[in-house]
Chain A
Amino acid sequence: MASPALAAILLFFVLPAIASLFLSFTDFDIYALADIGNLRFVGFQNYERLVENPLFWKAMTNTLLFVAVGTPFIVALSLFAAMLVNSRWLKWRPVWRVALFAPYVTTLVATAVVWRYLLHTRYGLLNYLLSFFGIPPIDWLGSPTASLPAILLFVGWKTFGYNMIIFLAALQTVPRELDEAARIDGANWFTRLRHVTLPAIGPTLLLVSVLTVAGMFQLFAEPYVMTQGGPAQSTVTILYFMYEEGFKWWNLGSGAAVAFLLFLCILGVTLVQLKLAKRSGAI
């Protein structure tokens, strides 16, 4: 009974993933697409060219920046939301939980279009709100320094609800008495967070970070819709770069090399996270 599904997985998931590695050692391009006879085995040439390509490094550093800045930002945001919704003094809990989760199920492309407008320099709601605090209009999507925070703001809004639900489930297993005892001992909110709550939800913290890192490595539609990789290529991500290599310039060999490097990056960072978590005793 499992065979149709396994056959599909083999044919449409396992085979392409392995083929990606082989493809990355060929010069598969638009000529090979027309006539497979033009295909040649080129060894590590694609990788060598990538290393010399400034746009590849730009995409790499942008993505790592997204990972390094976005992961703590989104994890903190999600944990804050979860703690708020988990508060024992909260009324109408299910209402707030659903409202905070809603952005996660919306269509990414649609809300990216909405946010592009929300972040508009002149007519956007965000700059209007900031103007009340005396902050001059920020060219969110048009300046190379603001574009990354702008996209992160959107990604954070879109995804924190998912992490929040996972955190909530973990927080509900932390005994209230523990927190209460610390409070009676005079521990303030931050101390209780550090010494009671965080240790108790260690494994969940790790899970959410791993998932968020993987998500940050896979940003594509966000820059595609909101900035088209710009300005000054400040939002070209690895996946965006792979898409352009593969399906805009039809350098499928080179694109496959990018895909394989992306996989190594995700794998590497995840393993480092696991190692750090083991050392700190979280799992």
Chain B
Amino acid sequence: MMLRRWSVTLLAALVALVTIAPLLWMLSVSFMARGEAAQFPPPLWPASPTLENYHLLFGTFGVGRFLLNSILISTLATALALLFTIPAGYAFAKLRFQGRDAIFRMLVAALVVPGQIGMLPLFLELKAMGLVNSYAGALVPWLAGIFGIFLVRQYCLSIPDEMLEAARIDGASEGQILRRIVLPILTPIIVTLALFVFLGSWNDFMWPLIILADQDLYTLPVALAANSRQNVQDYEIMMAGAVVTTLPVLILFLALQRYYLSGLLTGSVKG
């Protein structure tokens, strides 16, 4: 039994190490001197760790600008998504309005339709609205978050009707009920949803690539992809760029993993 316990744990440790090895290597190479990574055998650790690549990245390559764009777009996407989906999710769970269940069934069915299907017309639509090549254009898809509505609704179903009824009898308006009673109960799922949208919009690539033409507006992934198609030889800089792009979301996930994983299960298993 003892042997079995340790062999399983050892195997898991090995698999985990192989899994995070690319990320560790990315971090390691980002501290190497220029040209150091282009060797055989590939060095695992920098001979003398340097921040040169990060200096270059933020100096010459102006990554600060892209970082700022990413932070701005992801933060706004998160705020807007919460603003739009929380009231909707609550309404679908607890308020009575015409066609509620039919609309909800259609929304759930629409979850299987990938967003890319409508990308070309959406581009034309936003062009007509003058939103191409703007932050607003990059934000638009996050307003239409069906998954978020679904997530909030599932959570709201567990709120007892008597609680809302009591507040109504006391003369509270629907807006007050949402703000004062429902929102505090929803805190965990709001964190989950915010995390999903923030990570999703941060990591998103295809839509910002299409809608943002000006280099000044590029998000980190778009800028990184554009650079990776040119500076193929500068591994150390590219790795530093990858670190700057992915480390913020990785840290955010590690800090709030409980919320992320529980939301993932609500979304997939019950859906």
Q: Report A's interface with B, CB cutoff 8 A.
A: 1-2, 4-6, 8-9, 11-20, 23, 28, 81, 84-85, 87, 89-92, 95-96, 98-103, 105-111, 113-118, 122-125, 128, 157, 161-162, 165-166, 169-170, 204, 207, 211, 214, 217-218, 220-221, 224-225, 228, 239, 242-243, 246-247, 252, 255-256, 259-260, 262-263, 266-267, 270
Contact = CB atoms under 8 A, between A and B. Distances in A.
Contact of B9 (A92, A107, A217, A221): A92
B88 A17 contact: no
A49 to B, nearest CB: 16
B122 A9 contact: no
A113 B9 contact: no
A23 B120 contact: yes
Q: How large is the interface on B (under 10, 10 to 19, 20 to 34, 35 or more residues)?
A: 35 or more
B160 to A, nearest CB: 19
Nearest to B221: A109
A239 B207 CA distance: 12
Contacts of B140: 12
Interface string B10-26: 01110110011111011
A207 B199 CA distance: 23
A103 B253 CA distance: 11
B120 A252 contact: yes
Closest A-B pairs by Cβ, 4 of them: A16-B118, A5-B88, A19-B121, A109-B221
Given A9-B107, A89-B4, A109-B225, A16 B122 contact: yes
Contacts of A20: 117-118, 120-121
Interface of B: 1, 4-5, 8-9, 11-13, 15-16, 19-23, 25-26, 29, 37-42, 83-85, 87-88, 90-92, 95, 97, 103, 107, 110, 112-125, 140-141, 143-146, 149, 174, 178, 199, 202-203, 205-206, 210, 220-222, 224-225, 228-229, 235, 238-239, 241-243, 245-246, 249-250, 253-254, 257, 260-261, 264-265, 268-269
Given A105-B249, A123-B42, A263-B113, A91 B9 contact: yes
Contacts, number: 273
Contact of A99 (B20, B114, B144): B20
B263 to A, nearest CB: 11
B116 A239 contact: yes
**Main DSSP-derived SS at the B contact region:** helix
B40 A110 contact: no
Given A84-B15, A109-B221, A113-B241, A124 B42 contact: yes
A99 to B, nearest CB: 4
Interface core residue of A90, A117, A157, A252 (most chain B CB under 10 Å): A117
Nearest to A218: B114
A19 B40 CA distance: 53
Given A13-B118, A90-B8, A228-B229, A105 B22 contact: no
A157 B18 CA distance: 10
Interface core residue of A6, A105, A108 (most chain B CB under 10 Å): A105
B97 A2 contact: yes
Contacts of A91: 5, 9
Nearest to B178: A1
A15 B250 contact: no
B261 A246 contact: no
A106 B120 contact: no
Interface core residue of B12, B16, B269 (most chain A CB under 10 Å): B12
19 contacts: A1-B95, A1-B178, A5-B144, A13-B110, A23-B121, A87-B12, A96-B13, A102-B253, A105-B199, A106-B203, A110-B221, A110-B243, A114-B242, A117-B29, A123-B235, A225-B228, A239-B206, A262-B117, A263-B117
Contacts of A256: 120-121
B112 A214 contact: yes
A118 B25 contact: yes
Given A109-B203, A246-B123, 16 more contacts: A2-B92, A5-B144, A12-B141, A16-B118, A81-B15, A89-B1, A102-B250, A109-B222, A109-B228, A110-B241, A111-B22, A170-B269, A221-B225, A228-B229, A239-B116, A259-B118
